[in-house]
């Protein structure tokens, strides 16, 4: 079993976010991207966003990894257990804690997406048709494969094990219960039959006369 700090580094992207930050700085250092105007290009804006997200992922990794490290390298399981007990008391707090631990990975993922946008903009903006064709031939299959992997992973998830899945299940059960209670209340309502008014003696005589005339 690998140490906890190694798992945190791999899980939170503590090694990958600096690489992405370096790549963004290298992309922004290209002289042809800087037009000299106050309005930046789409590639520069996307690279700025990617660099900021990389910095955010690095900071979150540093803050979260310090909770289970004593000297920066080793981890004490007793301190980790006490820290987890303080953070997780109920099921909802546990889910919020898991979401907190996943934020660096989310920031790193969106940083990669923004860098891809910047790179594709550089490849397709004011370039030759041959350059666009070659980049498109490589980019379209890559996008299709990544989309297929995302959809496949999403289909195999157990929705009831996640917060959104449980919330949707609770809402559906409450709606079904309310509908059943309303239908039960409607069936228990007394049926209102129209009251037959008494025609009286004169009315009964007229009815008999009319019946005799018909016969």
User: Does residue 70 form part of some domain?
Assistant: yes
User: Does residue 82 form part of some domain?
Assistant: no
User: Does residue 187 form part of some domain?
Assistant: no
pLDDT of residue 188: 74
Same domain, residue pair 7 and 108: yes
Structural domain including 28 reads 1-74+91-126
If one compares 142 and 37, the residue with the highest pLDDT of the two is: 142
Same domain, residue pair 24 and 117: yes
Q: Which of 6-10, 103-107, 201-205 has the lowest mean pLDDT?
A: 6-10
Do residues 124 and 132 make contact, with C-beta atoms less than 8 angstroms apart?
yes
Give me the residue label for tokens 């890559």. 142
CA distance 17 to 8: 13
Structure tokens at 63: 């803050």
pTM for this one? 0.60
CA distance 20 to 43: 15
Same domain, residue pair 56 and 136: no
CB atoms within 10 A of CB 165: 13
* Portion of the chain with pLDDT greater than 70, in percent: 60
The CA dihedral of 86, 93, 95, 102, to the nearest 10 degrees, is: -50
Report pLDDT digits (tens) over 179-200.
Answer: 888 888 777 776 655 555 555 6
Same domain, residue pair 118 and 144: no
pLDDT of residue 142: 94
Same domain, residue pair 132 and 122: no
Report pLDDT digits (tens) over 61-120.
Answer: 888 777 655 544 555 556 656 666 666 666 667 777 778 888 888 898 899 999 999 999
Q: What is the mean pLDDT of the chain?
A: 75
Same domain, residue pair 161 and 98: no
Give me the residue label for tokens 């503590």. 14
How many CA atoms lie less than 13 Å away from 92 in the CB half-sphere? 1
If one compares 34 and 74, the residue with the highest pLDDT of the two is: 34
Of 131, 107, 108, nearest in space to 120 by CA: 131
On the question of pLDDT at 1 being above 80, the answer is no
| Helical spans, DSSP H, in the chain | 4-12, 16-28, 42-65, 77-87, 91-124, 129-155, 163-187, 200-214
CA distance 38 to 41: 10
pLDDT of residue 143: 92
Same domain, residue pair 68 and 136: no
Of 89, 88, 91, 86, nearest in space to 163 by CA: 91
Same domain, residue pair 62 and 17: yes
Same domain, residue pair 37 and 65: yes
Report pLDDT digits (tens) over 114-139.
Answer: 999 999 998 888 889 999 999 999 99
Same domain, residue pair 157 and 119: no
């Amino acid at each position: 079993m690998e140490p906890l700090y190694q798992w945190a580094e791999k899980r939170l992207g503590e090694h990958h976010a600096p690489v992405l930050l370096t790549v963004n700085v290298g992309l922004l250092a290209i002289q042809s991207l800087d037009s000299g105007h106050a309005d930046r290009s789409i590639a520069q804006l996307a690279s700025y966003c990617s660099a900021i997200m990389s910095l955010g992922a690095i900071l979150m990794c540093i803050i979260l990894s310090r909770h289970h490290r004593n000297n920066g390298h080793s981890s004490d399981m007793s301190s980790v257990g006490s820290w987890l007990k303080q953070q997780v008391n109920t099921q909802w707090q546990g889910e919020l804690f898991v979401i907190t631990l996943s934020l660096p990975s989310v920031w790193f993922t969106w940083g990669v997406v923004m860098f891809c946008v910047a790179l594709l903009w550089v490849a397709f903006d004011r370039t030759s048709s041959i350059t666009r064709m070659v980049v498109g031939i490589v980019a379209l299959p890559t996008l299709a494969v990544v989309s297929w992997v995302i959809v496949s992973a999403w289909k195999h998830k157990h929705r009831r094990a996640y917060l959104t899945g449980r919330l949707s299940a609770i809402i559906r059960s409450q709606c079904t219960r309310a509908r059943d209670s309303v239908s039960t209340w409607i069936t228990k309502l007394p049926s209102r039959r129209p009251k037959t008014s008494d025609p009286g003696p004169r009315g009964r005589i007229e009815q008999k006369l009319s019946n005799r005339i018909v016969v």
